[in-house]
Chains A and B, each alone.
Chain A
């Protein structure tokens, strides 16, 4: 008898409890593992990801956006970018998919308690940090001042307007939005996201900066934060590379001496700064 268990490559069945259309090419799947025992035992931390499997098509790595204390559901916000995600966009409530995870190391939420937090995102809505904001929202008194900064290229790229409105009403929270190219009725700042940084309120010696978005943008944010005397150990970024196995075997996400899937996807800037921004890695 051949025993291949535990098998880290094999998904488990999950059912779609709800499907939410966030924007024309962005949707959220609210999932639950159909094996109740597995669902009850499922634990994760913000910033970790799952491999989602679309029947007959393949797998894709997607970060988890729901709150870790809510053990009933696992939410994934997915952007339509390729074959698997395009197919997943057609799924509806009650449909089944495969899920395995969680994988990787997430945001340093415990280590950042009592610190000011600056969340910076760029590009289209950045799911990996939504979990950070939700996490702090649920435990508001355990963290210092919260700054949420989002930069988009065009004002029309801005999604989740309702969420930003909601976050703006949180106590001790500053929400700043910028578009590189403005247009009529855009109430926020026009210019690069870093031009908002003088408005941020944080103690550079007691802050965690958490960011997600294009690497070029994150590099600029890190440089600005270094200028403001924030240490590289206190800046965290979520990295993306081709991931197929998610368990450090397939080699696609190798990044210098790391595998993004198991050593990341969240790294402190100090850990990646030597290679960060070098084209081809």
Chain B
């Protein structure tokens, strides 16, 4: 569809929220909580992290005040869209046993309200598209993911403030949104550029006071894009996909295992990681049992357990599993890498392991 770009004053942002709320949406937006920018329910622009920015480093994330008047002058915190669509823990079904031993199964119906998420970044839109592939575009469709996905509206904001950990430009997923969002905005000094990327997005724009875009505003947006594309971290340029599987016995895996705690933080904050386990929790009266699924990690002890054997008992094997899947075998499964360059796994790693350095290691080794 043709995407026409408009300009809106900053006050239109509240109007946008009001219109969404009036149409029955739960609005989810960025806000400061517990020292981080997180996404949760929002009904006023006053809740947005205006005048706040972040400083990120390997194993480090802090918020600081800044003098900017912008609402979105920060880089991503630990989570964005993933928990909204792929719940960290949820009941799938419940079984009940009658006195004569019959078992019936009852589907758990999630409490469902249309959700509009405001302020998501290009990396998370790209990650959502990957999770769509995994949960929706396969032989089996995940009905829990699907129903939430069908009820999600995304209002993305192009990133004007990537963190030191970001490398979305290198993965081709940012800093600006190409497609996959319903509405895309760019925050300028005096307001926002806004365009609809879907029919739902077009409806949303109709309720706003739109102004034509000036050449100067387009130039300001372009300046932001160029600045945000200059990121210090990059994926190395060698053929990662084929080289990782040719290095399965490399000593690097043992070296990294001396640092890696196998804690699974990287997989919890990763917007594309989809592993989950299923557990049954029986009620105390024995009459029913609830079947849950919750996020799992390939760094956990139980992930590779099978009848008495743990296939990946060593941290070196788990780190290798994660890296080779994310950057190599993922290509054959989903037609691209599983990394969108959000940098979260670096910032939220308690020992500051940098995935771009891990990958660069194999490049150096060849040269050496």
Contact = CB atoms under 8 A, between A and B. Distances in A.
Interface string A109-144: 000000000000000000000000000000000000
Contact of B325 (A56, A79, A95, A254): A254
B304 A56 contact: no
Interface stretch (B174-182, B226-234, B272-280): B272-280
A245 interface: yes
Interface string A53-92: 1011111000000000000000000010110000000000
B289 A56 contact: yes
| Chain A binding surface, main DSSP class | loop
A34 B296 CA distance: 33
Contacts of B286: 56
Contact of B95 (A56, A259, A262): A56
Contacts of B143: 3-8
Contacts of A241: 304, 306, 311
Contact of A97 (B103, B144, B296): B103
Contacts of A79: 307
B68 interface: no
B76 interface: no
Interface residues of B, number: 59
Contacts of B274: 249-251
A280 B105 contact: no
A9 B92 contact: yes
A22 interface: no
24 contacts: A2-B110, A5-B143, A9-B92, A9-B278, A9-B293, A13-B102, A13-B103, A13-B105, A55-B289, A57-B280, A58-B278, A82-B307, A82-B308, A98-B105, A241-B306, A244-B276, A245-B276, A248-B139, A249-B276, A250-B276, A250-B293, A257-B331, A262-B139, A262-B140
Interface of B: 92-93, 95, 97, 101-105, 107, 109-110, 112, 134-135, 138-144, 147, 245, 248, 274-280, 282, 286, 289, 291, 293, 296, 298, 302-308, 311-312, 314, 316-317, 320-321, 324-325, 329, 331-333
Given A240-B307, A251-B275, A262-B140, 10 more contacts: A3-B147, A96-B97, A242-B303, A244-B278, A248-B140, A250-B293, A256-B324, A257-B331, A279-B317, A280-B312
